[in-house]
Structure 1
Amino acid sequence: MGLKDGKVGAAIAVTDIDRAVEFYEGKLGLHSNGDDPDGGRTYPCGGGTTLHVFPSPLARASGATAAGWTVEDVERTVDELIANGATCEQYSEGPFATDEKGLARMGSYVGAWIKDPDGNVLAIGNG
């Protein structure tokens, strides 16, 4: 069995775990079972996937997408996130140009991006 047969999940390093928990749980609506041994939190998501957020002195946002969710209704999901206080990124150029809500439409693909408090980019898309 190689990597192609294994499960994979996203892991995001943050500088302040309390601030990150407030964002991931309060604004994104994720739920965990509490602290992990590394001081982080693991958030179960759809299809048996997980997002692990952990404190690290090496945390640095890359500017590229760190994790992404595939959802059926991106616009409804974005509306819920905005209602919780999240803000979608605004891109004015290129194929990812967004509307006033933060949605990019490229053919049948609809996507949006949100940054966590450390600047890690999180994507929401329809596939």
Structure 2
Amino acid sequence: MLKDLSVAAVLPASDIARARDFYKDKLGLEPNNPEATDNLVYKCGNGTSFLLYSTPNAGSAKNTQMGWDSTDLDQDMADLRARGVVFEEYDFPGLKTENGVATLPDGERGAWFLDSEGNILSIATVPV
């Protein structure tokens, strides 16, 4: 039943105004509902979307909460860095980043960054 339905991410924000500024200034995204004050809906590629909602629980997850697929990770990272996005560095068993990028055994490459609310976001490319 669910396999044929669209899916969208939901992210917490403890300060919705600060989050709105981050997503606009750092990621170049504008909400689809600009008049909203307690939740923001963002549309992305291929009909996907995500919701930012106001809650004091933001930033408590220690895992990736949302990610974008990239066809040119290096260029997308350069563009984000130019806007002030800082990529995380990790050194865990099975995952080590170099200059913000991890290359997994299957060839997938990914990078992670935090939004203004402490949510862990990613951008990754999957080999074809």
Same fold per TM (> 0.5)? yes
In structure 2, how many angstroms separate the alpha carbons of the residues matched to 1:74 and 1:99? 14
| Root-mean-square deviation over aligned CA pairs | 1.5
Once the two structures are TM-superposed, the CA of residue 3 in structure 1 deviates from its matched residue by 1.6
Higher strand share: 2
Give percent identity, aligned residues only: 35
In structure 1, how many angstroms separate the alpha carbons of the residues matched to 2:115 and 2:125? 20
Which residue pairs with 2:62 in the alignment? 63
In structure 2, how many angstroms separate the alpha carbons of the residues matched to 1:66 and 1:29? 19
In structure 2, how many angstroms separate the alpha carbons of the residues matched to 1:73 and 1:91? 21
**Structure 1: which 4+ aligned runs deviate by more than 4 Å?**
none
Query: Is 1:14–1:54's contact at 8 Å kept on the other side of the alignment?
Result: yes
Structure 1: runs of 5 or more not aligned: none
**Count of aligned pairs between the two proteins:** 124
In structure 1, how many angstroms separate the alpha carbons of the residues matched to 2:52 and 2:59? 13
Which residue pairs with 1:106 in the alignment? 104
Q: Give TM-score scaled by structure 1 length.
A: 0.89
Q: Output the amino acid matched with 1:29.
A: G
In structure 2, how many angstroms separate the alpha carbons of the residues matched to 1:11 and 1:51? 6
3-state SS of the aligned residue for 1:20?
Answer: helix
Q: Output the amino acid matched with 2:55.
A: S
Q: Give TM-score scaled by structure 2 length.
A: 0.88
In structure 1, how many angstroms separate the alpha carbons of the residues matched to 2:16 and 2:101? 28
Query: Is 1:27–1:86's contact at 8 Å kept on the other side of the alignment?
Result: yes
Question: Bigger shift: 20-29 or 38-47?
Answer: 38-47
